[in-house]
Each structure stands twice: as C-alpha cells, then as structure tokens.
Structure 1
Amino acid sequence: MQVEVIKTDALGDRSYVVHDGEVALVVDPQRDIDRVEALVAERRLRITHVAETHLHNDYVTGGAELARRHGATYLVAEGEGVRFDHRPVRPGERLDVGGLSVRAVATPGHTEHHVSYLVEDGAEQAVFSGGSLLYGSVGRTDLVDPDKTAELTRAQYRSARELTEQARPEAALYPTHGFGSFCSSGPAAETDISTVGEQREHNHALTEHDEERFVEQLIANLTDYPAYYAHMAPLNKDGPGVPELTVPEPVDAATLRERIIAGEWVVDLRNRVAFANKHLAGTVSFEYGDGKHFTTFLGWTVPWGEPLTLVGPGGEVRAAIRDLARIGIDRPDVAVGDPASGLASDHPRSSFPSVGWEEVADEFARGNPPTVLDVRRAEEFKSQHVEGAIHIPLHELLSRMDELEHGRRLWVHCGSGYRSAVAASLLESDGHSVVHINGDYSEAENAGVPVT
C-alpha cells in the first residue's frame, strides 16, 4: 500500500491517493482535480474509487467530477442526501480496490453521517479519518446545526474511541482536516504524520475518560469560523463540476474605474505594504503572497455572491482564481497589471502609513496614546491586547463600521499584519484616517507598547 498526500495549505486540508501500484482510491479530493490527475498520470495509476468521508463544510469537493471523468465508483455515506450519481456506503461495508481492502467505519460527530475508511494491505493498515480523529484533536461539531452540537460532540467522543479500537496501534492515520483548517476543534498538532497508537497516548478525545467533561471543554473552546462555510454543504450536495481556472480576458481601464466608483469589490493582490504606499482609491487589500491567508479571509470578509474583480500581477491573479474556486467563488473578473501605476491611470491613487510596533510605542511614550483598533478574533483579544484597544474582529467590521467615529485616526493591528491591512483598506474606503500596523503582535510588548 502506498499513500500519496495532496496538501492544500491555504485551507489547512489534505486529500489522499492510496494505491497498490496500479489501482487507486482517492479520498476527499479538492475541487481542482487536475492536481490528482497529474499525480495518477505520473504514477501510471487507474482510479477505480473516489471516497468522501463526509459532506464538507470548508471546501467544494471535486469528487463527483473526478469519479465521472474516470468512470470510478463514487462512495458517499448513506443518508447524506446528495443529488448526484454515487454509491451509498454503509458502515461496516468492505470493498476491494485492486489489492487493497477498504472498510467503512461509522464516525459521526463532525457531521451526522461521517464515515472513516480503514484500508488494509495484508498486515498493513491505514486509517483515513476525514474530520473525525485529527492529530491531537477532533473535528469541530457545531457546523451542522447549533441545536445538535452537544449530541454530535458526544458522538465525536465515541467515534474517536471506536475508530481506534478497530485499528491496530501501528496503523498510519491520515485525517483530512487539522492542518490549520477551521474545521478542527483545537489547534493543529505540531506533526506531519501520526499513528493510531500515538493518538491514543496524546489525543484529548482519547485521554479524557470523562465524556461529559470532554463535551463541556470542546464546546467551550469552539470559536468563530468563516462565513462562507454556510454555502459549502449545499454546493457539495449538488456535486459541483470542474472549475474554470484560466485567466479571463481582463476588464479595461474604464470598466475597472466604474466598478470602483460603484463600490464593487475590487481586490488588490499585491504585498500589503506596497498597497499602503500606493493603490487605486476604493480598492481593498487582500495580499496573495504565499496564499496561506488569502482564501479564508477573503471568503470570510466579502459578502457571498457579490461581484468580485481581482487586480494584480498575472501569476498572483492565476493562483487566486484557483484558490477561490476551492470555496465556490467562480470566474471572478480580473485586471492584470500594477494597480499603483499602470491600471486605470485616470483614477485617483491613495495611500496610508504602514508602521511597526516601535512607532506605536513611540506614540505611547510621547503621552499621546493612539486609538488602536484590534481586528483579531475574540479568543486572541481575550488572551492579551493593547491597553485601551477597541476590539472589532475583521469578520464583523463591515457590519460594525458605525461604531467607529470619523475624524479620529485609527491604528489598526492583528496578529501578523495581514488582517489589519484588509481592515485598514476597508476603513479608508469608508472615509477613516488609518495607520496600518504591519508586525507580529508577539513583538508589541517588547517594543514598549502597554498590553493587558
């Protein structure tokens, strides 16, 4: 048995191709299935089965289209209510995939009908646990229905234990979530690989022997999750097709200008400091960079379904189109070029200061405390924050703009400078005077900024 890992770091997820050297099973494929197809072509594999562990809440699946294109059997848990051709899989069922034996194990909790897959090749075992047992934690249990959270948390606790009882300690564990995904109920473990035996020793769901205490602790630690999650399961029930990943014909300068003036979402993908130094007035900063934060925070901030135009260098535009397709944002318009100079030359440019924590500390030292706006999430603010800071999480900023008075300069920060750049650009477009604090929050206290 060989397992190929396809990482989607931008969403904190993984897909898997498990095979015997000739025949392959694909588990939880992301929507851009060309990555899977390139891998199986390189390995000269034949896909006979595609399997979903659950109806995903954080990305759009590529499973239906991948199965269709390869004539593969598409395994989806019985009871999911999907509206496309598939093979309903029941807990306990065993299937042959080439020389491999695959057994479905009921693991409800992350979703009501969640299944994991125990794959065997002789004495060798591998467990594909989806959003059930993760490295160090389990999948969150509040995405299906708030009224079912307690019930699903109890199910998650029992599922984790049942799964580890059915697999040997040396079985390799391959979860889909838990690498930064908000589908995890706790922080990602600092490991890239694990076994069932290691999780028995270190995973909270397995080391906590009081079920009710586990339920209370998990629920108490659940935090906000991206707003676009609400749209993923409905899309996945329909079996979405393959996305269009080519860069469309760019809009012209006049059209771009009209969209900005109309207040549409025109997103600048350049480095956040470059944006602060000079940008098309009325545009919003979502730095693409390495893609680590882009998809999640754009999907969490931009209201679902509103027109979107991406602006920036061609390579970043192309990458952003792929990333957005994974969460169901298809075919955004684009304007390729440098927004600071070569695009919409008759549209006004704007700028605002981008500073480090030392400059913030200087303001406090001069006895002129700045008005600091913290746009981190609630749990981050609660842990520690700048003395006297206003707190509005980025994902709530659009609906709470009226809480911030105009005429007073806002010094905006987050954990790294990424979210604060988004927030500063939104505030500037709303007429606020802003300073973008571009630095890790961990540096604030050492720089001399008073914290509490």
Structure 2
Amino acid sequence: MFAVDTLEFPGLGNRSYLAAGPRSAVAIDPPRDVDQVIVAAARRGVRIAYVAETHVHNDYLSGGLELARLTGARYLVPAGAAVSFPHTPVADGDAVTVDEDLALRALATPGHTPHHTAYVLTEGGRAVAAFTGGSLLIGAVGRPDLVEPRLTERLARAQHASAHRLADALDDAVRLLPTHGFGSFCASGRAPGEETTVGAERAGNAALTKDVDAFVTELLAGLDDVPAYYAHMGPANAAGPAPVDLTPPEPATAEGIAARLAAGEWVVDLRHRVAFAAGHVPGSVNFEAEGSLATYLAWLLPWRRPVTLLAASAGQLAHAQRELVRVGIDRPAAAATGDPRSWVGPGGRLAAGGCATFADLAGARAGRDDVVVLDVRRAAERRAGRVEASVHIPVHELRDRVREVPDGVVWVHCASGTRATIGASLLDAAGRDVVVVDDGFAAAEQAGLVPLRPSS
C-alpha cells in the first residue's frame, strides 16, 4: 500500500511530495530546507530512494541535490535540463521501481519549461497519482513566459498539448498533485481548491476544454508580473544550491542597526503591521513574517543586499529564516528580537504610523484636501476596480518610484493590507507621512470610493 505526504509552503504558493511504499520513498520537487522531508520519511519509517525534479525551478531554490547527498538517493532530473551537478537524467517513458509494486514513470510535458517532465506513480502497474509540477495544475497551468520571451507562445501551445497528453494517458480517478498553483507566481492562476483529479480537470480546466488557439490567447492575455528574483533562481538551481544554515544570526545591537541603516542596508521588521505602526525603528521596512514574506522581500530587496531582521520572538525569526533561504536570502547580516525600544537604544525614539479602514479614508477625503491615495496592487487587480482619483504604483515598483508619489498624507492600500504596509513602510523610510489602509478592498466599494465603471 502506498501513501503520499504533502508538504505545503503557503508563503511561496507551492507544494512538495513524498510518495512512499512500505520501505522506500521518492521525494518530488523538494524545498531547499530538506530537514522536513527527512522527518516525513522518518515518520513513515522509509528511506528516500529517489529524489525527482519536474523541472529547473524559477521561483524557489531546490533542495534536491542536498537531499540526494544526505540520503544517498538517486537524483532524477529531466534529460533536457542543463544542470552542472551529478544526477540521473530521465527521458520520456523512463521508469524506476520505488518499492515493491510502486513505480515512477516519466512523462514529457513541455510548456512551463521546454524540459518539463511529469511523473506518474503506479501501483501494481495501475496509475494512482501524477506529479505534474508546473504542467497541469488545479484549474490552470504553469506559466510559459519564465524561460525566454521568444519562446512564450510556443511553450503556451506546448502546455495545451501536454495537458491533453496527461488527460489522455490517465483515468479520471487519478489524483493530480501539482507543485505550483497555490499562490505561486509560476502559475497562470490560483488553485480553486486543494485537491483534484484528472476527471475534474478534464471537465473544468481551460487547457482541456478550449481549443489551442482560444486557450493560448486567454493564457497570454492573463499573464501577470514576474518577481524580479526569479532571474536568479533558475541559474542557481542549474548550478546546484548550497546547503542551508539556519542557525541564529549575529545579534543586532541598537548601534549596529543604526550603522547598517546609515550604510544603506535594509532593516526588516517582521512584526504585524499594527505592532509596526505602534512603534518601529526609523528607516526600517515592514515585511510581515506571516504570508508571502519570501516572495515580496526577495522581489523588492536589491539582490545580495545585506538584510537585518527584527522580530517579535525567536520563533518568528526562525520561521522567517526558513522562508528566506528558499529564495536565496541565506544569512541575515544580524537580527534582534523582543522589545522594539531596545532596537533604538537609550535616548533613541521609535517612529510611529497610522492604520485605518476604507471608511476612515472616505471620511478623511471629505474633511481635508491633503489626502493622497496610493494603490500598490498589480495592474491586473486594478483593472477589476479602483479607488477613484488614486495613484497607482505596484508595490514591487515603489522602491524606485517613491518620488512619483504626490505631496500630502499618503493613504496606502492593496487588497487586504499586507502589501499596503510594505509600501507604507518604504514611504515612511523615505520621510513621507503615511497611513496604512488595513482593510479588504470590498470595503472600498461599501465606502463609496470605487466608481461604478472601473477604468485603468
């Protein structure tokens, strides 16, 4: 009897898997911090015999090479992937025996990347699950535009063909277990559910219900922004990421924090936006530890710029370190936890900001003339509805466009408050007077701030 353990990484919107028989297992698309994969195998009482990559990832650093080294497993990598480390190349139709009646068969599924490969898990010769990586996802497919712009349309058409190849090769009851699609920017859409089967996708996935031309047109029209750090993930994965070091960073003193800020380094406060607004180190920026910390910090932080982390607790700091190594932010320059007053030292003063709702914003607009509304959502979100007379600068562009924000008190909003606090803290560090709109965007409509017919 086989079992599949799902390892979820909501901060990146991805999943990894461990498929096990009675004695041996295979790990699919493992995270860089491989200790949790090893723990999952230990709980099952199995050894990891194989590690398999569906593709060279663009959105996170893989732990496949290190996991194979630590466990002695064979490292399966698609034959078309240009990697520079020892591995076992797998081509379409290749199969390995994982344990007794449990086998893994490679199925070429180009589209997300030219070399993308799915893996079909069989028990007693019958397909029971398919690990589809960035190919056929829940209600979507992996993006085809992350490799090379000139290949985008060709890969989009390949995605359509690969989706049909998977559907044609597998029965409706077979479970589909994708790596992307749970918030990852590698996916062309957000998963509408947590689980799926071939039959469910056959009935509702556009790649399987639309003809190729209609599918490609819709797919290309819906492509969103690409996080800047993606440019570094593919090459690092092809070279083979180094092992991680999750030991506590060097302690940060008040004097050291001030010196790092003066040197142009980033000091990142990991606390919740309300705590940050109540009091924070002047010049620090707020990226909450919970949520999409790794995605947005790696996206906005200049690559390889030293970063100092400030956290409410040692547990919050450890969580953030683990999230950040997955995207190549390996070792914080320093870190501090506890009372924020200790981060500025005796005689130092904390800065403070404001948090408000869309209803508060409507009231402020009615009573004063210095209110500037800054929308930091992505363009695709704004097209669906906007606050009237608002300025639009997506949060990932704000660092380089601060001077474009008009004079006045800047009320920063997104869809929920997470990106708004990032944007507001960037402006606060630049000396602007800011208010975070800590509210869901639906409340903007209720407050009468959204025109009936939105425009871009």
Give, in whole Å, the separation in 2 of the partners of 1:442 and 1:280.
32
TM-superposed deviation, 1:214: 0.9
TM-superposed deviation, 1:450: 4.3
Give, in whole Å, the separation in 2 of the partners of 1:404 and 1:84.
47
> 1:253·1:343 contact (CA, 8 Å) conserved in 2?
yes
Give, in whole Å, the separation in 1 of the partners of 2:85 and 2:385.
48
* Structure 2 partner of 1:40: 41
* Structure 1 partner of 2:213: 212
> 2:20·2:26 contact (CA, 8 Å) conserved in 1?
yes
Give the AA of the match of 1:70: T
* Structure 2 partner of 1:85: 86
Q: Which moved more, 1:29-38 or 1:349-358?
A: 349-358
* Structure 1 partner of 2:110: 108
Q: Does 1:162 align with 2:161?
A: no
Find the partner of 1:197 among 193, 199, 210: 199
> 1:117·1:129 contact (CA, 8 Å) conserved in 2?
yes
Aligned pairs for 1:183-262 within 5 A: 183-189=186-192, 191-208=193-210, 210-262=211-263
* Structure 1 partner of 2:291: 292
> 1:55·1:237 contact (CA, 8 Å) conserved in 2?
yes
TM-superposed deviation, 1:357: 1.4
* Structure 2 partner of 1:449: 449
Give, in whole Å, the separation in 1 of the partners of 2:214 and 2:387.
33
TM-superposed deviation, 1:368: 4.0
* Structure 2 partner of 1:127: 130
TM-superposed deviation, 1:315: 1.4
Cα displacement string for residues 287-310 of structure 1 (whole angstroms, at most 9, x for unaligned residues): 11xx22211111111111111000
Aligned pairs for 1:282-431 within 5 A: 282-288=283-289, 291-312=290-311, 313-338=313-338, 340-345=340-345, 346-366=347-367, 368=369, 370-406=371-407, 408-431=408-431
Find the partner of 2:176 among 155, 167, 173: 173
> 1:354·1:435 contact (CA, 8 Å) conserved in 2?
yes
SS at structure 2 position matched to 1:116: strand
Q: Does 1:435 align with 2:452?
A: no
* Structure 1 partner of 2:68: 67
Q: Which runs of 4+ in 1 moved over 4 A?
A: none
Give, in whole Å, the separation in 2 of the partners of 1:80 and 1:449.
50
Give, in whole Å, the separation in 2 of the partners of 1:398 and 1:355.
23
TM-superposed deviation, 1:124: 4.6
> 2:188·2:222 contact (CA, 8 Å) conserved in 1?
yes
Cα displacement string for residues 129-183 of structure 1 (whole angstroms, at most 9, x for unaligned residues): 0000001110010000011100000001000101111112111111111111111
> 1:257·1:347 contact (CA, 8 Å) conserved in 2?
no
Q: Does 1:150 align with 2:139?
A: no
Give the AA of the match of 2:446: N
TM-superposed deviation, 1:199: 0.8
TM-superposed deviation, 1:46: 1.0
Give, in whole Å, the separation in 2 of the partners of 1:3 and 1:352.
47
> 1:281·1:347 contact (CA, 8 Å) conserved in 2?
no
> 1:263·1:282 contact (CA, 8 Å) conserved in 2?
no
TM-superposed deviation, 1:350: 1.1
SS at structure 2 position matched to 1:201: helix
- State how many pairs are aligned: 447
Give, in whole Å, the separation in 2 of the partners of 1:355 and 1:94.
57
> 1:311·1:339 contact (CA, 8 Å) conserved in 2?
no
Cα displacement string for residues 259-311 of structure 1 (whole angstroms, at most 9, x for unaligned residues): 122231000111111111211111101111xx222111111111111110001
Give the AA of the match of 1:247: P
Q: Does 1:56 align with 2:26?
A: no
Give, in whole Å, the separation in 2 of the partners of 1:317 and 1:137.
34
SS at structure 1 position matched to 2:446: helix
TM-superposed deviation, 1:211: 0.8
SS at structure 2 position matched to 1:331: coil
Give the AA of the match of 1:66: L
> 1:317·1:334 contact (CA, 8 Å) conserved in 2?
no
SS at structure 2 position matched to 1:141: coil
Give, in whole Å, the separation in 2 of the partners of 1:108 and 1:14.
20
Give, in whole Å, the separation in 1 of the partners of 2:217 and 2:339.
50
**Identity percentage over the alignment?**
45
Give the AA of the match of 2:157: R
5+ residue gaps, structure 2, are: none
Give, in whole Å, the separation in 2 of the partners of 1:380 and 1:398.
20
Q: Which moved more, 1:122-131 or 1:16-25?
A: 122-131
Compute the TM-score of the two structures, normalised by the length of structure 1.
0.96
Cα displacement string for residues 191-225 of structure 1 (whole angstroms, at most 9, x for unaligned residues): 221111111111110011x2111111100000002
TM-superposed deviation, 1:11: 0.7
Give the AA of the match of 1:251: A
SS at structure 1 position matched to 2:252: coil
Q: Which moved more, 1:55-64 or 1:357-366?
A: 357-366
TM-superposed deviation, 1:448: 3.5
> 1:374·1:393 contact (CA, 8 Å) conserved in 2?
yes
Q: Which moved more, 1:240-249 or 1:278-287?
A: 240-249
Give the AA of the match of 1:271: H
Give, in whole Å, the separation in 2 of the partners of 1:375 and 1:338.
30
> 1:373·1:412 contact (CA, 8 Å) conserved in 2?
yes
TM-superposed deviation, 1:398: 1.3
Compute the TM-score of the two structures, normalised by the length of structure 2.
0.95
Give the AA of the match of 2:198: V
Give the AA of the match of 2:231: A
SS at structure 2 position matched to 1:174: strand
TM-superposed deviation, 1:449: 2.7
